[in-house]
Structures are given as structure tokens and as C-alpha cells.
Amino acid sequence: MNRDWKHWIAVVVVVGSAALARAELAHYDVFVTGTGPGSKLILGGYEDTVPAATVPAGQMRVFGGEVVGTGTAVPYETEAPGEPGFGAGNQAFLSGTSTSPSGVYTALAPSTPLTFTVQPITIGATTRNLFFWDGSGAVNFAPVGGNVTLGLTRYGGGGWTVSVSGTSAGVQSGNTIANTGTGGALHAHLYTSIAKDGAAPDQGFYLLSLQLAMSGYSPSDPLYYVFGALDPTALAPQFADLAAFEAAHGIAESWVETNIVNVPEPATGVLALSLAIAAWVSRRGRPFARCPF
């Protein structure tokens, strides 16, 4: 399906009293790195069209993507190359100017699987693996019913699908995203689908949490993925247009950053501000680019 409908949609995000108008570019992939064997996996963002990676203070733990469909007969799903995406760099990439900060991190172990588990999320008094907000009014993520299913799929190379039910509420086994190469680099994408009763889901925003793991390292902090579900040919009534949908998507990601992810120390305020902007702008719809690692 063609994604041109969402190229260069202008969105406005508000940080404190400052309003920033930004053009939509591409979603960040999850960038995975560390400081050597035995260290914790550290999360940043990777933009594969540049290519460039950034690991801000407090890490980057909120990501966004879309599942798209038309009509009501089929689930909504992400489009090529798929979301979420994951990247890791070899030592030359980590030490070069394309990684910020540069020269801090160490390439991951070579020829080693990067795996994930689905993590429970607690909002208020409720714990679930999958939450939903319809995009109207104030952000109000709530549990979904058992008739809602989110699937994460890896095609080819030992393809698999991990299915997350709306009623699940604990740590759920995932699978191997990909193996690192001989230099510790990795670039892989999964496909996400969301269905309700096996057909189109409600339009709005679905929240999922993953934790990444690799042998020889401590697992990452949980990361949070906000999937916007929409039919661009027939938007739900709460969205006046595609720009309104994109603005609500940014607000949802900001809410997750503020209310679920730990708040950084005050001394990191400037970098935290940059992180919040990156999460809100959450770059949309980019073509696939060859991994440079």
C-alpha cells in the first residue's frame, strides 16, 4: 500500500511554552548498544535513511509507528519495510560522527541473537500487555478486550509470529529478532498487525512494551511502542484530518514518556527536552535504506 498520504504532514508539538512546527520524516528504529560484555543493553534511535544513531541521556524508550488498512474486512498492518525496526552498529559506526555521542559505546557481541519479550504495562490499577486510547479528549489509555490481537511477525529466515491478546497481563515470550553480524551490527524489521474479531481494529493508538535481551548482557529497560491505527481513506470521526491524527499520535507518545518512562535527573534537562521532541515528532513513513554497517 502506498504511504505517500503521510509524507510531509506538518505537525505542531508543544514543549513547555514553545511551539515547534516540524515536517514528518521517518520513524526511528530502535538502536541497541552497550559498553562491553556484561553491560546492560542501552537503547537509542536509529534513522536508516541518513544513516545516523543517537543515544540521548535517559535513553530513547518511546517509539511510534502505524498500522494501516482500508475498509473493515482485514486487520491493519505496518507496511514495508515493517515496524518496529531494530539496528546495532559495528565499532567504526559507533566511533564515527554518525553516532551521537560517538566513541562511548562498544559493538555488540558478534553472531549473537537479539531477542525480545513482551512486558506488562501498569496504568493506574490495571496491568495488561496491550492498552488503547481512541485519540479523543485527554489521553486515557485503557485495556482492550480479548477480541483484540496484536501480532509481531518476522518474515523469512525462520519466520514466526508472536501474538499478544488483549487479555494478557504478564511477561510473554517473544522470539529472536535477528543475529548480529561478525562485527556486531544488526538491521532488522518486524511487521505488526492489529485486529479486532479478526477484522479491522478501532482507530486510535495501541500501546505495547518490549524488553530486549542478548546473551552476555543484562536486558534492556522496557521500551514502549505506540502504534497509530488508521484508515486514511475513512478516518474515525474524532480525527478531523490526517494532521489531527498525527498530532494525537505525538500527544500519546509524549504522555507515555511523561507518565510511564522514568523522568531523567534535572541535570539532564536539556537532553531530556531533545528526547521529548524526538518522541513527539516520531518520524513517519520512510523508504527502506540499505544498512551501512
Give me the helix-helix angle, 269-281 and 242-259, nearest 10°: 140
Q: Residue 90 falls within a domain, yes or no?
A: yes
Q: What is the mean pLDDT of the chain?
A: 84
Q: Specify the higher pLDDT residue, 267 or 30.
A: 30
**pLDDT, tens only, 27-43:** 799 999 999 999 999 99
Number of domains observed in the structure of the chain: 1
Segment 120-126 mean pLDDT: 97
Cα 107 from Cα 89, distance rounded (Å):
6
CA distances from 291 to 49, 89, 112, 276 (A): 9, 10, 18, 26
CA distances from 96 to 56, 149, 219, 250 (A): 16, 41, 25, 31
Domain that includes residue 51, residue range: 4-281
Q: Residue 289 falls within a domain, yes or no?
A: no
Q: Residue 288 falls within a domain, yes or no?
A: no
pLDDT exceeding 70 applies to what percent of the chain? 80
Q: What is the pLDDT of residue 276?
A: 45
Q: Residue 96 falls within a domain, yes or no?
A: yes
pLDDT value at 253 more than 60: yes
User: What predicted TM-score, i.e. pTM, was given to this entire model?
Assistant: 0.84
